[in-house]
Structure 1
Amino acid sequence: MPALGSDMDEGTLQEWLVKPGDEVARGQVVAVVETTKAAVEIECWHAGTVQDLLVPVGDTVQVGTPLATLVGLDDADGDARPEPGVETAAPTVAEPSVTLPPSPPGASHRRRWVSPAARRLAASLSVDVDALTGTGPQGAVTLSDVEHAAAAAPIEKPKATAVSDRAAQMRKSIAAAMSRSKREIPHYYLADEILMDRAVTWLTERNAQRPITERVLPAVLQLKAVGVAAARYGEFNGFWREQGYEVAAGVHVGVAISLRGGGLVAPAIHDVPEKNLDQLMADLSDLVARARAGSLRSSEMSDPSITVTNLGDKGVDAVFGVIYPPQVALVGFGKPAQRVCAVDGGIRIATTVQASLAADHRASDGHRGALFLATINELLQQPEELEK
């Protein structure tokens, strides 16, 4: 069972997508695990042949518990390594403690997309999820689908129990992670007011030449600026572990996403500096949709190397976040607003945004943090360079 974030101690195996004898490739989705926040698709970290499935569907096991064994690993190219931040679940070959019988011939291993919240609510309302047509991303069955099905039934049933239980469990997970963060991480905070006039003007002109479906949000510019700056200042892009600081192999920016019904997740968009704005906009839209449908991938949950939280749409001027361990930095953005500013020796009204940095003093200091924030500022003054 991989660690899908510092607030995860256990997970429930919801579905196997492979069976003994199947050949699997590195990165292939092989199982679905339910956590308190989402149904997460577990990706295989090695290529080989499935020998045994060690955990039955429905079982809840601790992080680090072997889920399956593989044989005939192809490690010739050196690629058979776990993704950063993911713990190896099992040795290459091990004697199984539980052996499941092969699936019956013709059995389907295709994933039925149902968010954990929707599954719990359906169970409490006696709604058959297999009979529903999902309206979420990739046909996922959502809370709304279950509620509509229940409303159409002749007998009224209670609707709040499952959702309330899920929300309570998520708050416990968040509380555990944030308590650990404030207990273990010596935070320091910095802030900078960034002029956004040039970026907003450039983005407005760029979007005017494109259909609505292809337009880019200002948040994507900020995301790209953080990613590029993190690539230059490695002490903000990595993990603090028992042995000390470890620079991440890539810049995988976690995006804080609020969930319907409360709580949040911060899955990663991978390799942010290497992607253009259109790619990042598509990735962000897809990530938000899948997060709110309760369908994420293990690599997205396990390897964010720095997190961005943007509360500008909530009307707040600034946000000073809590670092998500084992990461060492979090960047926050408030709302863009018109303010009276001194610009080029004169006074004028300009659009600005408050950017903040919460950083781990074990991995960096205020001087480097100030340079990191200044680099984000400089990049946003040259939005055309972020296009690449």
Structure 2
Amino acid sequence: MPSLGADMEAGRLVAWKVGVGDAVKRGDIVAEVETEKGLIEVEVFADGVVRELLVEPGAKVPVGTALARIGGAAESGAAAGGEAETDGAGAGGAARVDVADAPAAAPGSAPGEAIGEPVESVGETAYGAAPGKTKLDGAPSTPAARREAREKQLDVGGVRGSGSHGRVGLEDVRGAEGDAGGARVASAAATGARGEGSAAEAGRVRATPVARRRAEERGVDLGAVEGSGRDGVILLADVEKAPVGVTGPAKTKAASPAEAMRAAIGAAMARSKREIPHYYLTHTIDLGAAMSWLEARNADRPPTERVVPAALLVKATALALKKVPELNAWWTGSAAPPKAEVNVGVAISLRGGGLVAPAIPGTDQLGLDALMAAMSDVVERARRGALRASEMGSATVTVTSLGDRGVESVIPVIIPPQVAIVGFGTPSERPWVVDGEVVPRTLVTASVAGDHRVTDGHHGARLLARIEKLLQKPEKLDS
């Protein structure tokens, strides 16, 4: 599950666009994910063949959870029952590959923390442990084997593996289900650890993921249901048999997509203002030369091929950042090393309310026609809910322009983990002094908000001065 923002903790898998056995190439859309910012398309970042889909549609999983397993095209299923190896440790084994690289670790995750376990739903597993946190003792096992063991309430650590180095496969777990020997089923010690091991565990309701989902649908209070599964685990049948009256409090009305987005934006901006020591600078820039050049450039072009002033401002910002790289960075918690690439995020207001800021990769490398096409494309896809995960999580700086709203200036808030944001007001004709005379000129007020943990006002001033200089030679932006 890719991270699409510093405050994103989880996302819901809406649909798979591929199936097991499908060949995929880097950049292919393989899934759709729902977040507070809307529906996002997830890309694959490696060529190969889909070996396993680890998350079911409808499941909400934490950021960093592996969604699928991608293997090489020549991979052979050498494990028991044709099951492919998943840790990539041996020759021919398919390494697990997240279908979308998160730009940063999941919020709150520790370095090296395992987050790739298959997960049916957010919250507790059948034994009440958070997904990806349960320690599985004994021989190594495949994800399919672990999932089968969870469903059958078996202790995979007690299953005898038939694979290499004692690796437990899917068929080993299936064979262990009916085995009367104590070595293959959950041991009394394991049962005690699950049911009585801690004070926190003692007060936790234990239920299978499908039982939890059904209980939520019916409004059944799991705390009032007696489980018939091993060690009192609540199963689907227990929820279905729950009598009338065994219900929890009435459900509150779910937030609308617009309300959810507004809440997400508010939380992110509140966090930004709370944690980032902002400084603000503004500067008025003469756009006379840029507007005259742009008018001449667009004169013989059809409307669909014309470049708008916003593209000039975005390109000038991207090039200026190459001269002030300290502002083109992500805060990592203790430092903010400059990014090699300049991916400008373009703030887009949505018709239904809300705001997104997808990135345009390599903004500084694009000519104006290519940049204009890229901006038009992301605006169109943003407004129909078809942005990609890579676009939502890779911006190194954001530009917000309210040129069509008639405002003189904008004082923006930094979007974490970025360390700066640039704003532009509406270009308008105002009196300006040129060569000692007051003349009408097209002016725009540019602003920058910077992170004082990383830079000082000197850096922001250099950026604004560089943007101004570039806009006086607009033809140099078209390369």
Smaller-chain TM-score bracket = 0.7 to 0.9
Does the Cα contact within 8 Å between 2:23 and 2:73 map onto a contact in 1? no
Q: 1:182 to 1:318 in 2, by over 3 A?
A: same
Equivalent residue number for residue 27 of structure 2: 27
Equivalent residue number for residue 317 of structure 1: 408
Equivalent residue number for residue 67 of structure 2: 67
Does the Cα contact within 8 Å between 1:181 and 1:325 map onto a contact in 2? yes
Aligned mate of 1:95, from 130, 143, 151: 143
Does the Cα contact within 8 Å between 1:4 and 1:86 map onto a contact in 2? no
Q: 1:42 to 1:23 in 2, by over 3 A?
A: same
Q: What secondary structure sits across from 1:244 in the alignment?
A: coil
Taking the aligned partners of 2:350 and 2:418, their CA distance within structure 1 comes to 22
Deviation per CA, 1:183-210, whole angstroms, max 9, x where unpaired?
Answer: 1111000111000111111101110021
Equivalent residue number for residue 18 of structure 2: 18
Correspondence 1:17-166 to 2 at 5 A: 17-72=17-72, 85=103, 87=105, 90=116, 95-96=143-144, 98=147, 165-166=256-257
CA drift at 1:21? 2.3
Taking the aligned partners of 1:200 and 1:356, their CA distance within structure 2 comes to 19
Letter in 2 for 1:33: V
Equivalent residue number for residue 6 of structure 1: 6
TM-score, normalised by the number of residues in structure 2: 0.64
Taking the aligned partners of 2:363 and 2:102, their CA distance within structure 1 comes to 16
Equivalent residue number for residue 175 of structure 1: 266
Deviation per CA, 1:66-116, whole angstroms, max 9, x where unpaired?
Answer: 2112333999xxxx997672559749x9624558xxxxxxxxxxxxxxxxx
Letter in 2 for 1:59: A
Q: Which runs of 5+ in 2 are unaligned?
A: 75-87, 89-96, 107-114, 118-140, 149-252
Taking the aligned partners of 2:362 and 2:104, their CA distance within structure 1 comes to 17
Q: 1:67 to 1:25 in 2, by over 3 A?
A: same
Q: 1:273 to 1:326 in 2, by over 3 A?
A: same
Equivalent residue number for residue 145 of structure 1: none
CA drift at 1:312? 1.7
Equivalent residue number for residue 340 of structure 2: 249
**1:371 pairs with 2:371:** no
Q: Which has the larger strand fraction?
A: 1
Equivalent residue number for residue 446 of structure 2: 355
Taking the aligned partners of 2:104 and 2:390, their CA distance within structure 1 comes to 8
Stretch deviating more after TM superposition (234-243 or 340-349): 340-349
Count of residue pairs brought into register by the alignment: 322
CA drift at 1:52? 1.4
Equivalent residue number for residue 380 of structure 1: 471
Does the Cα contact within 8 Å between 2:64 and 2:102 map onto a contact in 1? no
Does the Cα contact within 8 Å between 1:203 and 1:216 map onto a contact in 2? yes
Taking the aligned partners of 2:73 and 2:338, their CA distance within structure 1 comes to 28
TM-score, normalised by the number of residues in structure 1: 0.78
Percent sequence identity over aligned pairs:
50
Letter in 1 for 2:66: P
Does the Cα contact within 8 Å between 2:2 and 2:102 map onto a contact in 1? no
Does the Cα contact within 8 Å between 2:329 and 2:418 map onto a contact in 1? yes
Does the Cα contact within 8 Å between 1:68 and 1:90 map onto a contact in 2? no
Taking the aligned partners of 2:30 and 2:370, their CA distance within structure 1 comes to 26
Q: What secondary structure sits across from 1:378 in the alignment?
A: helix
Correspondence 1:176-255 to 2 at 5 A: 176-255=267-346
Deviation per CA, 1:262-309, whole angstroms, max 9, x where unpaired?
Answer: 110000111111111111111111110100101100110010000000
Q: 1:90 to 1:231 in 2, by over 3 A?
A: farther
Taking the aligned partners of 2:334 and 2:44, their CA distance within structure 1 comes to 26
Taking the aligned partners of 1:33 and 1:239, their CA distance within structure 2 comes to 24
Q: What secondary structure sits across from 1:203 in the alignment?
A: helix
Taking the aligned partners of 2:26 and 2:386, their CA distance within structure 1 comes to 20
CA drift at 1:347? 1.9
**1:293 pairs with 2:311:** no
Taking the aligned partners of 1:84 and 1:245, their CA distance within structure 2 comes to 18
CA drift at 1:335? 0.6
Q: Which runs of 5+ in 1 are unaligned?
A: 100-160
Q: 1:358 to 1:166 in 2, by over 3 A?
A: same
Taking the aligned partners of 1:262 and 1:199, their CA distance within structure 2 comes to 32
Bigger relative contact order, structure 1 or 2, given CA contacts below 8 A and separation 6+? Answer: 1
Structure label with greater radius of gyration: 2
Equivalent residue number for residue 130 of structure 1: none
Q: What secondary structure sits across from 2:475 in the alignment?
A: helix
Q: 1:41 to 1:11 in 2, by over 3 A?
A: same
Q: What secondary structure sits across from 1:355 in the alignment?
A: strand
**1:280 pairs with 2:371:** yes
Letter in 1 for 2:143: E
CA drift at 1:60? 1.1
Taking the aligned partners of 1:98 and 1:379, their CA distance within structure 2 comes to 57
Letter in 1 for 2:322: A
Does the Cα contact within 8 Å between 2:360 and 2:374 map onto a contact in 1? yes
CA drift at 1:328? 0.6
Does the Cα contact within 8 Å between 1:55 and 1:98 map onto a contact in 2? no
Alignment root-mean-square deviation, CA: 2.4
Equivalent residue number for residue 164 of structure 2: none
Taking the aligned partners of 1:3 and 1:348, their CA distance within structure 2 comes to 50
Taking the aligned partners of 1:48 and 1:234, their CA distance within structure 2 comes to 36
Letter in 1 for 2:55: V
Does the Cα contact within 8 Å between 2:4 and 2:102 map onto a contact in 1? no
Taking the aligned partners of 2:374 and 2:295, their CA distance within structure 1 comes to 20
Deviation per CA, 1:339-382, whole angstroms, max 9, x where unpaired?
Answer: 11222332222110000000111111111211111000000111
Deviation per CA, 1:240-272, whole angstroms, max 9, x where unpaired?
Answer: 012411322311100110011211000011111
Q: What secondary structure sits across from 1:312 in the alignment?
A: coil
